[in-house]
Amino acid sequence: MNQQDAIDAINQAASPKIKYAFADIDGILRGKVIHRQKLLDSLADGSGFCDVVWGWDSSDTPYDNGIITGWQSGYPDTPVRIDLSTLRHIPWEDNLPFFLADFSNPNGPDLAACPRSLLKRIASLCRDMGFHAEYAQEFEWFNFRETPQSLQTKGFRSLEPLTPGMFGYSILRPSLESSFYHDLFDLLTQFDIPIEGLHTETGPGVYEAAIMHDEVLRAADKAVLFKTGVKEIAYKHGIIATFMAKWNADLPGCSGHIHQSLWNADKSQNLFFDPSKPGKMSELMRQFIAGQLYCLPHITPMFAPTINSYKRLVEGAWAPTTVTWSFDNRTTALRILNQHEKLTRVEHRVSGADTNPYLALAAALASGLYGIKHQLSLDIPPSVGNGYADKQYGILPANLYEATQQMARSPIATELFGSEFVNHFTRTRDWEWRQYARQVSDWELKRYFEII
């Protein structure tokens, strides 16, 4: 949609209200409802948003190590741009017009911390190299018959799952909540997030959805909106949806796998597919895979951004732990699917459901392009059988602290994303680790309180 089409649409809307939002460093949508006139005025005069959203964490606690903003700067307004091409109407809110925004400055550089601005820069580099990046993210998440109030009252314990037991790919279980199940598919599709597939996964109350693929920035927009959209639709049904990577040690984790391919500029040819080469893999695809494997240990926090992320990345939990790739193998970091040209792609399996999609897709694309730019050779052979056992080419960091320290020191990360972003992002992850380290867990109390 071009700018004039968007302006005409909001002028013709029955209500003068407009909602807009942007994703913070954790991928959480922050925004507000404004009058249509405020939006129209901002097209000429610009707009601002309090930059505290880059100076606090997911619970609104200010960082003590921030440099982009903080008490030292007084948390001023920062230029924000509402992207009119992202106009949607929220079907579960009386078709309220909605826009995505990012912190881009028409009179200067974009805000280094802004995830959407970072992905836009990586996508532009991809186009300059002559490629069209086609991406999609799929998500698993747990559903509970709870409310925000009951979560607090129960202390996040003894929660009631939407359905009991382990029943993956069940046709039966969704019929218990058919209105919720079909609302997810229908309302998200109406919200311009077309769903390719929706089904139960193994675990009590677990669903999985695959979003239809699109150009990389639009794919990330859809993934960000998908997570919040699912939560809002769930609210309407008295349900809480969680995208935590691992909410229970005894149950499977929740992935956010990334499907990716590069095409020529007019999208007439999948550049990863070459039937004349071994494995039908083009040299470009091999370089792309080599780049992703080489960069992965340097940028792991962008695929595993929370303390909890690393509870999912353990052996035998359907999530990778090693620097590996293979053909249609769900135990490796990269899974290659290449039966025919149209569907040939690389599935990045490290990414969890708790990721910020802008950062996860930026990391995946930038690392793949790094391999192409440097013409890296794919010297790592495909894993055969159990990828967890194939540790000869490296393993993933074991926790957020280890991963963050490695990224903060890495010249590779700086080359991919710039020093300002790496500095800000790793400071936020260091803060996250320190908040965790100062807590006393139930496990510690049970293990040490009486006995030690």
pLDDT at 44: 78
Nearest to 329 by CA among 378, 279, 368: 279
- Count CB neighbours of 197 within 10 A: 11
pLDDT at 46: 77
| CA-to-CA dists, residue 222 to 18, 88, 226, 239, 326, angstroms | 19, 11, 6, 22, 28
- Count CB neighbours of 3 within 10 A: 12
Nearest to 270 by CA among 328, 344, 212, 369: 344
User: How many Å apart are CA 328 and CA 437, to the nearest integer?
Assistant: 38
pLDDT at 47: 87
pLDDT at 140: 98
Q: Which fold has domain 3-111?
A: Ubiquitin-like (UB roll) (3.10.20)
pLDDT at 146: 98
Q: Which residues pair with 200 in a beta bridge?
A: 207
Superfamily of domain 127-443: Glutamine synthetase/guanido kinase, catalytic domain (3.30.590.10)
- Structure tokens that stand for 185 in this block: 């598919």
| CA-to-CA dists, residue 188 to 19, 99, 379, 389, angstroms | 17, 15, 42, 39
Cβ partners under 8 Å of residue 99, min gap 6: 6, 18, 19, 20, 39, 82, 83, 84, 86, 87, 88
- Count CB neighbours of 332 within 10 A: 26
Residues of the chain where predicted confidence (pLDDT) is lower than 70? none
User: How many Å apart are CA 27 and CA 227, to the nearest integer?
Assistant: 9
- Cα angle at 172 between 241 and 93, to 5 degrees? 40
* Per-domain boundaries in the chain: 3-111, 127-443
CB 205 within 8 A of CB 163: yes
pLDDT at 5: 92
pLDDT at 89: 96
Backbone torsions φ then ψ of 334, nearest 5 degrees: -120, 130
pTM attached to this predicted model: 0.97
pLDDT tens by residue, 280-299: 999 999 999 999 999 999 99
CB 101 within 8 A of CB 83: yes
User: How many Å apart are CA 441 and CA 452, to the nearest integer?
Assistant: 16
